[in-house]
Structure 1
Amino acid sequence: MITFFLVGLTVHVVFFLSIFDIYFTSPLVHGMTPQATSLAPPASRLVLVVADGLRADSLFTLLPNGSSRAPYLRSVLEEKGTWGVSHTRVPTESRPGHVALIAGFYEDVSAVAKGWKENPVEFDSVFNESRHTWSWGSPDILPMFAKGASGDHVYTYTYPAQEEDFASTDASRLDSWVFSQVKSFFQLAKSNSSLRASLLEDKNVFFLHLLGIDTNGHAHRPMSQEYLDNIGLVDTGVAELVSIVEDFFDYDGRTAYVFTSDHGMTNWGSHGAGHPSETLTPLIVWGAGVHNAQRVTEPQPYNDGYLQDWNLEHLRRVDVGQADIAPLMASLIGVPIPVNSVGVLPLPYLNNTDLFKAENMYTNAIQVLEQFKMKMTQKKETTLSFRFTPYQVYHVQCEVSLLWMSVYLCCPQVVSFFHRAMLTVGLAILSIWPFMSGLFGKAKFRSLSWFLGCLFLALFPLMPVVGREPNIHLVTCAGLLTLFTSVCYLWSSRQRTPLHLSDRQQFVTQVTTVHMFHVAVCAYVPSLTHSSLQQKQGLPLLNQIISWITLGSSMLVPLLSSTRIFHRLLSIFLSLTATYLLLSTGSEALFPPVLSWLMFVWINIEQEAMLAQGVSGRQELSTIDFSANIDIAKIRQLKLDDIRRSYFFVFFIITAFFGTGNIASINSFDPASVYCFLTVFNPFIMGGLMMWKVIIPFIIVMCTFETIQVTGCELQTIINFNSISHSSPQHFFFLVQDYGSWLDIGTSISHYVIVMSMTIFLMLLSVVTHILTSQRLILWRRPKLHFP
């Protein structure tokens, strides 16, 4: 068995890793010659200001009284600049957004399995091609451009990572810090001759990364006063910045300014996918070499309705792709366009001669062509000559279409991975199983409980994975439902076991009471935490301590309880649900109580099914002890009904995964889900907490299946669900995506990972649940208590 397990694990790991070698290799090529025009540029220096998380409509929309919340930037685009919308691509995240802006290419697909703060491969950028670049802002963004730069001419000034706190009373202080540092920098340059000499050179870049708007958006939502006030602070800061820069350079008219954003934000405070609120970002360019505001008399070719809402239909609007900004900045200061750029120079922004525009257009075309030639050369060198053929879009699209058809026709079970509503249909069908199998006549109450449990659980796949509006009151309700379900557990156990006031039962009752009180506390902590954050009082230390202790003890506390089936299952359920409540912000908190209710009914109704079939060796629930050795003489042969149990098990495992979310949705999760644990931005800890939230329903289902196997005296039916779980990996292999948002890419990867590792994961999880149900920690011995 050990050899079989190790070989199977190795095969699954190899097949899993293969997708990253096939789909997620970097498309970037190196070795191209930088292309630059010989004509003199209009600007000696460039100031790039990126307001992280700023939506286009949040900046351009006027207030009810007709004024602007960003009066300085509004005056720039109405009088002395050119403006438009920068259309970002997915994933709408900070790292790929800044890479597109500064390096000119969109997300490197190999990054999905590698870096978070830094791009996993070296790349060229406007900063790298500049003579000097000074940058201020977040430690999550600036280092990636300094690390990839050749030489030592990209200087970064960052604040501590701890400052990125979603519970901050005023996240706009991150932006105030940047403006203050820039002001001090230019003051220093007046007395520092070497620094002043460097600043007076050409081809220089000043980069300001402003994270306050994004942080306030996550913490308070984009429609909040904090988010909108932060925009006003940035506007004031930009106005002062321009005054400082112009004064330092004696108003020489050789400074170009670019104001934009890396991505937008949804109404519920997340980003990463492709909603217009995330992909439409503002772009305002002014200064040396840039057209002044141009009035138009004819309707512009934009039918999105924004111009009229923004009251800007009278001004020329020039939209660009986000990667187009890199060649624009390079042209303004006369540096080579980054060699990996796929951006197209947006000519309407340039105020220069036709010759200058033509030369820069030609340079842009040659730079893109150089990438194509290098890529084709590399492809020829690694491909057999008779297999090297030109790329045919039509044929590839036809092959793919014949494939998003074969999947649906050959493997109907795959449909539920793409349409969660199929789980609702499946649960609706399962709900009538007791009536169709004849069990209703023998167990009416349990059959009705099964019916209602399936229908209630069927509601969750119909709810959105991301974008749920927080509702802390539902978390409190989930805590009450958990307590009610626990009472039902206890009532059922008392009905099955004669009640007498023994020391054992008194002790169990005391432990259970403490457990239920703990759940009640955990149901209240999210409400108290979010109330404190709304009042800008920060995360209460006591709440944080309770949360981390609950998380750390969630897998240990059940080991202290009795190994009797009712007591151990109740302890596991209460411990895991307490943690789940702390990680919930709304309706998803109701999922574990409803799932546990249905799982408890499943255990009982399977007992009735085995009784009706006359299964020999079946144990009564009241006599089961997880820690007792199973009598091998009572182990029975597998029956046809065991296949049905295995199918139920696989179906409930899939429901546990897709019921309220999945691994892919972690990318767009609401940061409020982890506020009970921490508020300072930390992607790895936050991601780990959300992963544990995903795993909790798995453990509930696995413990249920462990109980059913023990009560039925059967061996683990690995063979049954092995054949079920291995029926569709080949389809998902061809459906892995290396384009789109991280949500899309992550979804395709998670689908493949689920079906490939189903057997191995369940085998490992079965070992964990076996320990969780059958083992017990004894911290002290009470001589008068004699029970397992």
Structure 2
Amino acid sequence: MVLSHRGTLMLLGVIFHVVYIWSIFDIYFRSPLVHGMTPHRADLPSPARRLVLFVGDGLRADKLYEPYRNESLALGDESAAPETEYLAPFLHNIIRTQGSWGVSHTRVPTESRPGHVALIAGFYEDVSAVTKGWKMNPVNFDSTFNQSRHTWSFGSPDILPMFSHGATNPEHVETFMYTHESEDFSADGSQLDTWVFERVQGLFDRAESNQTLREQLHQPQIVFFLHLLGLDTNGHAHRPHSNEYLNNIRSVDQGIEAIVNRVQDFYADDRTAFVFTADHGMNNRGSHGDGHPDNTRTPIIAWGAGVRGPERQPAPAAGHDAFSVPWGFSDLVRRDIEQADIAPLMTSLIGVPFPLNSVGVLPLGYLENEPEYKARSALANAHQILAQYEVKCESKRAHQLFFKPYPQLNQPDQRPDQLIQRIELLIEHAQYTEAETLCLRLIDLSLDGLRYYQTYDWVFLQSVVTAGYLGWILYSTLFILQHYVLGSATASPHSRIPPLDTSALVFTHLLNTFALLILGGLYTLLYVQKSPLMYYAYVAFPVYFWCEVIKTHRVFGSALHSALTFSPPSVGAGKGLGSGGGNPWWWVGGILLYILVLELLVVSYFHRSVLSGLFVLLALWPHVVDSALLTTRFQTRVPYLWTLFCLLMSVFTLLPVEKGEDQWQILAGGALICASGIVALGYRHTIMNKTKSSGGTGSRSRSHSTTLATAVLAGQTALVGLTCVLVLSTIRSLTAKAGLPEVNQLLAWAVLASPIIPLGIALGTIQTHLHRLVTIYLALAPPFILLSISYEVLFYFCLGVTLLLAVYLEQYRELAEPRQATLTYKGNHYTRLGLGDLFTAGQFLFLVNVGFFGTGNVASISSFSLEAVYRLTTIFDPFLMGALLIFKILIPFFLLSTVLGVINRIKRLPPMAMFLLVLATTDIMTLNFFYLVKDTGSWLEIGTTISHFCIASLFVLFVMALYLVSQLFTNGIRIPPLQLAVTKKNR
């Protein structure tokens, strides 16, 4: 049956896209941990006995380093100009007098867990950790803490446990954590840092009277880890330009100074090394996660035992660029490092083995030890990275049928053992600088070799994935042609597919056998090479899809013949976008135009202004392409209103995505939604498709129904106004640092659940399409307002009106060019998919992209501010907050999916026809993004390309979800005819 076929297609599509979205990580970013290696360290006394690591979570490099104009310093003297000050005077003094400094460059995703793993364990964690919510370890890993003799860690329960869980002996990694409830965005985040500083002070206080603890604290190779979450909390709550964030930098600097003084007083041996850095930065919206430079550039300051002091040169000193010139350190050498380089730096300072899977390169410029110690540390670093290369090489050699070794380390004079011997010989002859240079060369070659083996399967996987996506596009397109263009039973003899003859059946059996042989051969190859299980799924899809495409390739010819010979008798046929008449050039032009729209949508991910240009074209469409059908045939203002609102919508994709909280824009949008509700009340008889009458039982029944519907509309409109008042009250309370009032919080959760009642009434009693659309639009408005911080409410209003106008335009087109029902499914008569339906599908794809990116950033899925959830909760809970943000993002799509379902019924298309048309073609965009993915270059470019591919891949699943929503919201809906006035010319 067709229904079972549709269900099979949907299920297959879901499985296919879920599997293939992980291919991007297998190809470009998956770096499995290598096991079976021996730890390496320099066999000389280390310069430091202990290390103190400070991590300012969410601290941007520029916010720590740059000077600020302090207006208060000039108070009392009107002639005095504001003076500049540094927010962290202690750390700036360290940079000037004691230590080395620079910028630590992080990788995407710029989240807390991957950042801490990189700087403490020295490797960039597998993205599969996201399936654990960035909390629990997908696999345990080695780290600096694990290699230390003992580590005391203080801070967040979201970060500390993963290093104790990953330790060989968890007992020697002690954790001191506050509760999750302490992470309150409505409170001052610096209190979290104060908690950490106080607990560290308390540890040393207890050691004064606890001999066992005192002995532990005097052991060599120990680490103190202070995780300072306040900056991240204040940045999310108030943004990094706020006074709260800047004052938090001051308090962190003061706390670090107190801890440093206490440590030095406690030990009094000058054998302590200190490192201050951050796991990630933060953009101006108070978010992070992507590859924007504000997120990837963090500070690194090191001082104490074994650390090189400041190096002065005539300005400008080495390492400076336009980014650091305003900081006032142009006379000091700036030493930038990769975030993973911090782990080998820390292990070298205290003399413990390098973490086994570290890919960090020891930053020799930060060390001021004996030259021999630096050289032997570099050699140990080279040994440790080379060991990973050798294990990876042997693994590939053992399983690859046609193994090709990494050529650079396979030459007679470049073999690893020979390079190691040369380095050791140089160290024996005290040629330490030359030894360090050769170590760095061996490290670079080993890292390149690791990358060579990590990318060994790229060509194979890229080919398989490409074949899979192309196969899916053709396979789903064939399904649509067979069932929605040709049909299982039609009125036209040209639309039937000829039955298979004997030779065709033989061909089908041979093709199935050949496909099984190919699949068996591929599986054998994967088994011999011990490939990951996901590889088996990758190759199965293209074999199946292409086998089915080849078997049913005749559908293309039948569909083309049907399209060119079948033209339904209709008024004005061929003047609009109907079936295309019998002209093949209409079809060629329409398909090329549709593909062009998809490619423009790809470009819009990089340039949001493209969306504005497409809105301008949509605004002109009724007056150019459909002019003969709409603007001259019917006496209606709808085409002109459509033009107006399309032009209004084009403004939103030109507005900046870095928006702050603006209560007046929220109230303006709420007022417009209230006004639209009042207009709906004024035209309630029209949208309910009822006429005023009096007398009789039927009249009383209709009156009761109208009264209930009127009450629902009035109640929804009033709730929109009350939600605006609630949002305004909450904003003022949070701004005044009074926290989230409990009454406001309870009301907010009630507003979030408020759509349940009107949606239930709409689905149970409201049958006319306009009435139901208006009810859904008003029902979803309060929660959207509740979760908005700026012009998003205005966007929702304009989008809702635009979608309602789209429904009117489709009804006008149907009246102007009626479509003949020529398909029969389950006793119901439907129309075939025609050329004009490509326009509707393209418009739907465009509006879906606008729905998501109209108020966000196409380069980042982290562009939606957490401020939106503070009306409901201020306690840090990533899953709840993420769910609320996703719900807000999805709200416009609930309305959009309902509109597409209504349009599908207006066109009298079979159920799911329009959704499947979108489903079959949207992977043209996905393939574009697949080949645009980068794993080199700036972190901004890398993060952007990853986000684009993930969004495009998930978009297909999203379309399927929209169909289910559409089926729910349009169940039992009735499309009454429009009462139109026709111009005299056409009467």
Secondary structure of residue in 2 paired with 1:24: helix
Match of 1:528, SS? helix
Q: Which residue of 2 aligns with 1:594?
A: 798
Question: How far off its partner does 1:355 sit?
Answer: 0.6
What's the counterpart of residue 180 of structure 2? 161
The answer to whether the 8 Å contact 1:725/1:759 transfers is: no
Give the AA of the match of 2:780.
Answer: L
- Cα separation, partners in 2 of 1:394 and 1:95, compared to 1, 3 Å: closer
Q: What secondary structure does 1:667 align onto?
A: coil
Deviations 1:283-314 (A, max 9, x none): 22111112233333353133423554222223
User: Does residue 662 of structure 2 align to residue 474 of structure 1?
Assistant: no
Q: Which residue of 1 aligns with 2:602?
A: 417
Which residue identity does 2:266 align to in structure 1?
Answer: F
Is the CA contact 1:461–1:659 (under 8 Å) kept in the aligned structure 2? yes
Q: 1:729: Cα distance to partner?
A: 4.7
Match of 2:49 in 1: 44
Contact conserved, 1:138 with 1:158, CA < 8 A, in 2? yes
SS in 2 for 1:339: coil
Instruction: Go from structure 1 to structure 2 and tell me whether the alpha carbon gap of 1:321 and 1:763 turns closer, same or farther (over 3 Å shift).
Output: same
Q: Residue 13 and residue 634 in structure 1: after superposition, are their counterparts in 2 closer, same or farther (change >3 A)?
A: closer
Higher alpha-carbon deviation: 494-503 or 47-56? 494-503
Matching of residues 571-590 of structure 1 within 5 Å: 571-590=775-794
Residue 126 of structure 1: how far off its partner (Å): 0.5
Matches within 5 A, 1:514-533: 514-533=715-734
Question: Partner letter of residue 467 of structure 1?
Answer: E
SS in 2 for 1:259: strand
Other-structure match for 2:867: 672
Question: Is 1:440–2:631 an aligned residue pair?
Answer: yes
Q: Is the 8 A contact 1:95 1:118 kept in 2?
A: no
- Stretches of structure 2 that go unaligned for 5 or more consecutive residues are 70-82, 408-451, 474-591, 695-702, 975-987
SS in 2 for 1:459: helix
Describe the shift of the 1:232–1:517 C-alpha distance in structure 2 as closer, same or farther (beyond 3 A): same
Distance of 2:209 and 2:661 partners within structure 1:
53
Residue 763 (structure 1) aligns with: 963
1:148 and 1:394 map into 2 onto residues whose CA distance is 29
Q: Does residue 179 of the first structure (1) align with residue 197 of the second (2)? A: yes
Checking the alignment, whether the CA contact within 8 Å between 2:602 and 2:928 is kept in structure 1 is no
Per mean C-alpha deviation after superposition, the further-off stretch among 640-649 and 137-146 is: 640-649
Q: Is the 8 A contact 1:736 1:752 kept in 2?
A: no
Task: State the secondary structure of the residue aligned to 1:385.
Answer: coil
Summarize the Cα distance change of 1:5–1:50 in structure 2 as closer, same or farther, 3 Å threshold.
same
Q: Name the larger-Rg structure.
A: 2
Aligned ranges 1:132-211 → 2 under 5 Å: 132-151=150-169, 152-168=171-187, 170-211=188-229
Structure 2 CA distance, aligned partners of 1:691 and 1:708? 26
Secondary structure class of the residue paired with 2:207: helix
**Residue of structure 1 equivalent to 2:953:** 752
**Equivalent position of 1:563 in the other structure:** 766
How many aligned positions are there?
Answer: 754
Alignment correspondent of 1:128:
146
Please give the alpha-carbon distance, in whole angstroms, between the structure 2 residues aligned to 1:10 and 1:639. 26
| Contact kept? 1:737, 1:749, Cα under 8 Å | no
Does the alignment pair 1:548 with 2:752?
Answer: no
* TM-score normalised to structure 2 length: 0.71
In structure 1, what is the equivalent of residue 381 of structure 2?
A: 364
Could you tell me how far 1:583 is from its partner in structure 2? 1.1
Counterpart residue number, 2:254: 236
The 3 A distance-change label for structure 1 pair 234 and 400 is: same
AA at the equivalent of 1:430: L
Q: Percent identity?
A: 41
1:3 maps onto 2:194 in alignment: no
Kept in 2, the 8 Å contact 1:666–1:690? The answer is no
In the alignment, what sits opposite 1:281?
298
- Indicate conservation of the 8 Å contact 1:23/1:738, yes or no: no
Of 653, 656, 681, which aligns to 1:490?
A: 681
- In 2, are the aligned partners of 1:703 and 1:773 still within 8 Å (CA)? no
Query: Greater shift after overlay, 294-303 or 262-271?
Result: 294-303
Deviations 1:445-473 (A, max 9, x none): 01101111222222233334x42233222
Alignment equivalent of 1:33, drawn from 34, 38, 42: 38
Does the aligned pair in 1 maintain the 2:154–2:176 contact within 8 Å?
Answer: yes
CA distance in 1, matches of 2:339, 2:799: 45
Work out the CA distance in 2 between the residues paired with 1:422 and 1:68.
Answer: 42
Q: Which amino acid aligns with 1:694?
A: I
Structure 2 vs 1, CA of residues 457 and 211 (structure 1 numbering), >3 Å: closer, same or farther? same
Amino acid aligned to 1:158: M
- Larger displacement relative to structure 2 (644-653 or 94-103): 644-653
Q: What amino acid maps onto 2:62 in structure 1?
A: D
Return the alpha-carbon distance in structure 1 between the equivalents of residues 65 and 828 of structure 2.
77
Q: 1:639 to 1:254 in 2, by over 3 A?
A: closer
- Is the alpha carbon distance of 1:752 and 1:351 closer, same or farther for their aligned partners in structure 2, counting shifts above 3 Å? same
What is aligned with 2:707?
506
2:394 matched to 1:377?
A: yes
Q: Distance in 2 between matches of 1:574 and 1:748?
A: 33
Contact persistence 1:91–1:107 (CA under 8 A): no
Partner amino acid for 1:513? A
Q: How does the TM-score come out when normalised to structure 1?
A: 0.88
SS of the residue aligned with 1:39? coil
Cα deviation digits, residues 26-63 of structure 1 (max 9, x gap): 41222221111110001111000111122222222234
C-alpha distance in structure 2 between counterparts of 1:371 and 1:273, whole Å: 29
1:509 is paired with a residue whose SS is: helix
Post-superposition shift, 1:539? Answer: 1.2
Shift in Å at residue 161 of structure 1? Answer: 0.8
Aligned partner (choices 268, 272, 276) of residue 259 of structure 1: 276
Deviations 1:152-188 (CA, angstroms, capped at 9, x unpaired): 21111110011111111x2111011001111111111
Alpha-carbon shift at residue 195 of structure 1 (Å): 1.8
Match of 1:12 in 2: 13
Residue 289 of structure 2 aligns to a residue whose secondary structure is coil
CA shift for structure 1 position 415: 3.7
Give SS of 2:311's match.
coil
The alpha-carbon distance between structure 1 residues 486 and 381, as it changes in their structure 2 partners (threshold 3 A), is: farther
> How many Å separate the matches in 2 of 1:395 and 1:298?
48
* SS of 1:458 mapped into structure 2: helix
Query: Pick from 640, 643, 658: which aligns with 2:853?
Result: 658
Give the counterpart letter for 1:33 in structure 2.
T
Q: 2:241 aligns with which of 223, 227, 230?
A: 223
- Using the TM superposition, give the Cα deviation of residue 254 of structure 1 relative to its aligned residue in structure 2, in angstroms: 1.2
Equivalent position to 2:265, from 239, 243, 247 = 247
Between 134-143 and 644-653, report the one with greater CA deviation. Answer: 644-653
Contact 1:737 1:748 in 2 (8 A): no
Three-state SS of the structure 2 residue aligned to 1:462 is coil
1:47-58 equivalences in 2 (<5 Å): 47-58=52-63
Q: Secondary structure at the match of 1:494?
A: helix
Task: Extract unaligned runs of 5+ from structure 1.
Answer: 618-629, 775-788
Q: Are 1:558 and 1:772, in contact at CA under 8 Å, matched by a contact in 2?
A: no
**Using the alignment, how far apart are the partners of 1:649 and 1:444 within structure 2?**
24
Q: CA contact under 8 A between 1:265 and 1:277: conserved in structure 2?
A: yes
Q: Does the Cα contact within 8 Å between 1:599 and 1:701 map onto a contact in 2?
A: yes
Distance of 2:302 and 2:291 partners within structure 1: 25
Residues 41/540 of structure 1: CA separation in 2 closer, same or farther (3 Å cut): same
> Tell me, what secondary structure is at the counterpart of 2:862?
helix
Equivalence map 1:599-618=2 (5 Å)? 599-614=803-818
Note the alpha carbon deviations across 1:413-457, whole angstroms, 9 max, x for none.
144134143333332222222223221121440110111122222
Letter of the structure 2 residue corresponding to residue 426 of structure 1? L
Distance 1:473 1:582 in 2: 14
How far apart are 1:773 and its partner, in Å?
6.0
Q: How far, CA to CA, are the matches of 1:449 and 1:409 in structure 2?
A: 25
Q: Label 1:67 to 1:595 Cα distance change in 2 as closer, same or farther (>3 A).
A: closer
Superposed CA RMSD in Å reads 3.2
Amino acid at match of 2:602: F
